[in-house]
Chains A and B, each alone.
Chain A
Amino acid sequence: MEAESPSGVAGKAAPGFEPKIVAFCCNWCSYAGADLTGVSRMQYSPNIRIIRVMCSGRIEPNFVLRALELGADGVLVAGCHIGDCHYISGNKEAEKQIARTARLLEILGVDKRRLRLEWISASEGQKFANTVNAFTKEVRELGPAGYGRK
């Protein structure tokens, strides 16, 4: 169900539009959190495609831009809570990187609400489901990003 009119600008939601969302989850907390969501049989929006990374600090601006360029409507980055990073400070790096990327999106004119950073631990299955649902709803309202068209 591809919506026709692409738009990076908020407020132009297309009826029947279902966003594609890429979620980068860190191996140690958020990916395990996503697992718990599934094992606990909690329902969440099927709009996300999870990519496991070793650490949220691995996410560079190009990951986000590349996802958008290939047709994603939103990008979620999820990592361990501050203080819990398996590599001590990777998530602090992620915070910096995502802020830097958000500013880049602003200069480019891409709505920065299309990028979200969340901390989700391995025990927070419910939080994972809630985050995905809320983010999907927000991106659905923003409408199609439209950078992936051929």
Chain B
Amino acid sequence: MSEKVIRRIIQDTHAFDCVECGKCTSVCPMTRHKKDFAPRLIVVKSMDSPSVEKLARERDLWACTTCGQCASMCPYKVDYTEFIRALRAEGAMLDVTPDCSQGGLLHSMMRVMAKGDLEQDRLGWAKPPLEVAEKGDIYHFTGCSRHMAQVFVGRQGIDIGSVPESAVRIMNAAGVVPAVSKSEVCCGHDLNWVGDEDNFARLVDRNVAAISATGARTVVFTCPEGLRTFSKDYPLVAEGELPFKAVHISELMVQWIKEGKLRFRETTGKVTYHDACRLGRHMGVYDPPREVLKAIPGLELAEMENIREKCLCCGVSGWISCDADTKLLQMDKLMEAKRTGADTMLTFCPKCQLHLHCAQADKVPVDRALIDIPVNDFTVFVANRLEEKG
């Protein structure tokens, strides 16, 4: 039974095509710090002793951040991230679950959203002068950044709570009044990556229904995880074809800038940009965020050593397996950002921001001066630099 399942996953993800060149291992951020960890080893183990239960009880299946570095380098297009996800889903069916950060709080919230009849306060921030609508061609997926901000309320310097309103400010400035919905729920990214396919499917159904009811054909995301999940995972789970397409707000911003609809104030300072794995490697959105930053007059963009496909990881994905090695990864990332001399590092992913903030707040194994760079949200940063309407 187990053997058949594993064989199918290996086939589906082309893991048999591997020529053992070792490129995946050489770029894997986990391999840098975790002893005996290598993406290929998980496949080898799964062939040596094909037991889903055994694999799911081991560290390695959950230690992988599914960052996609390995797959982006592999000349034979072995899809390790999907290999890991599929194996986790099999593990979940046997009730093997990982150790999640905050005791699985985010996953619990998602399951409540998947199953309950809720009177959500999802749109409490959508007050005048912000303009939103109940129906429209463009839908704004507000996501869970406010939920996460509430979990970390009181921590200094975290600005993800104002992401939804910042996105609407940008859209309004470009003359777009987006549709929003109170019945929207979490996209389900984290449940999908811990293998809880049942509750993930429930969230998919709810979101597809909520968005369809607005009549939207385009769904705009700020969050890289939402974008990835809607673009790549929803089509596999939803019944029938999705009545809308998912786009990232940075892609629309570039278009609006070109059309002269979006203008920015003169700004001083220097920023660096972190390619969140879901936006970059998973979705290939590398240039639009950089073009937006270049359109802000006076702002300087200082790139890190490793960017785009090679961008270093924030250390955790799916709210699973945050440990001492994760912290070392985060140090690598922060030191690289600090070396650019930028005043702040911007990223679209609310979780990247949280992870890196958390790493800074902890005891750190390096000189604190090497890592103390603020990490801020891209959408919020840009919205605060919009040209004032006269």
Contact = CB atoms under 8 A, between A and B. Distances in A.
Interface of A: 6-9, 60-63, 65-66, 68-69, 100, 103-104, 106-111, 145-149
Across chains A and B, which 4 residue pairs bring their CB atoms closest together, nearest first? A109-B118, A109-B120, A62-B103, A62-B105
B115 A107 contact: no
A7 B119 CA distance: 10
Given A66-B103, A66-B104, A107 B117 contact: no
Given A62-B104, A66-B105, A110-B118, 19 more contacts: A61-B105, A62-B105, A62-B108, A65-B108, A66-B104, A66-B108, A68-B112, A69-B108, A103-B153, A104-B109, A104-B151, A108-B112, A108-B113, A108-B120, A108-B147, A109-B120, A109-B121, A145-B116, A147-B115
Contacts of B119: 8-9, 109, 111
B105 A65 contact: yes
A105 to B, nearest CB: 9
Which of B104, B120, B146, B150 has its CB near the most chain A CB atoms (within 10 A)? B150
Interface residues of B, number: 23
A146 B117 contact: yes
Given A62-B105, A65-B108, A66-B108, A104 B150 contact: yes
B115 A149 contact: yes
A100 B116 contact: no
Given A8-B116, A60-B102, A107 B111 contact: no
Contacts of B117: 6-9, 146
A110 B112 contact: yes
Greatest chain B CB density within 10 A among A62, A100, A106, A149 is at A62
Contact of B151 (A7, A61, A106): A61
A60 B113 CA distance: 19
B122 interface: yes
Nearest to A111: B119
A110 B156 CA distance: 27
Contact of A107 (B104, B105, B116, B120): B120
Contacts of B120: 107-109
Residue among B105, B112, B147 having the largest count of chain A Cβ atoms under 10 Å: B112
Contacts of A145: 116
B115 A146 contact: yes
Contacts of A7: 117
Contact of A6 (B116, B122, B124, B151): B116
Nearest to A150: B198
Contacts of A103: 150, 153
